């Protein structure tokens, strides 16, 4: 079984733009929570950017959003990743159109390779506050 890679970054955002000449990535609208105007809360397009290194061989990679209480999987993206060299940095970009959150509360984005969870990111859906600092859905 291949060694799991080291996770350099797992970032949720509105958009990932790739420069066609340099292959550099620009992450637009980084966030870790949304305010629900109505339920279910639907985020039009939720992007997850990943940067991995120290991997060996071919790995089945997945990002899943799960509920904290029941561990129910709401949505998932999968990709095969090939590490030709452990020093290589692999960037992945998952897009989840119409990401649906049934209620307010805490959720987790889980990154896994070959079925082993490597990292979890907290994500919150809240009711609107007066500050208006979080994106709304």
pLDDT in tens, 61-74: 999 999 999 999 99
136 belongs to a structural domain: no
Check whether 2 has a pLDDT greater than 90.
Answer: no
1 belongs to a structural domain: no
134 belongs to a structural domain: no
Query: For position 50, which CATH number holds?
Result: 2.60.40.10
Cβ atoms of 70 and 107 within 8 Å: the answer is no
Check whether 91 has a pLDDT greater than 70.
Answer: yes
Structural domain of 61: 6-124
What domain count does the chain have?
1
84 belongs to a structural domain: yes
**Cβ-Cβ contacts under 8 Å for 22 (sequence gap 6 or more):** none
135 belongs to a structural domain: no
**pLDDT category, 134, cuts 50, 70, 90?**
confident
34 belongs to a structural domain: yes
pTM of the model: 0.92
| pLDDT for res 84 | 92
Q: What number is the average pLDDT over the span 93-115?
A: 97
């Amino acid at each position: 079984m291949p060694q799991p890679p080291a996770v350099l970054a797992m970032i949720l955002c509105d958009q990932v733009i790739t420069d066609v000449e340099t292959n550099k990535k620009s992450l637009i609208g980084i966030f870790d929570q949304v305010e629900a105007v109505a339920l279910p809360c639907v985020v039009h397009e939720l992007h997850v950017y990943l940067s991995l290194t120290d991997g060996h061989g071919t790995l089945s990679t997945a990002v899943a959003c799960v509920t904290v209480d029941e561990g129910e999987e709401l949505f998932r993206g999968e990709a095969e990743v090939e590490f030709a060299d452990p020093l290589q940095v692999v960037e992945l970009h998952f897009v989840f159109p119409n990401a649906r959150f049934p209620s307010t509360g805490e959720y987790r984005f889980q990154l896994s390779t070959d079925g082993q969870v490597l990292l979890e990111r907290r994500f919150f859906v809240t009711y609107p506050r007066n500050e208006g600092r979080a994106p709304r859905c």
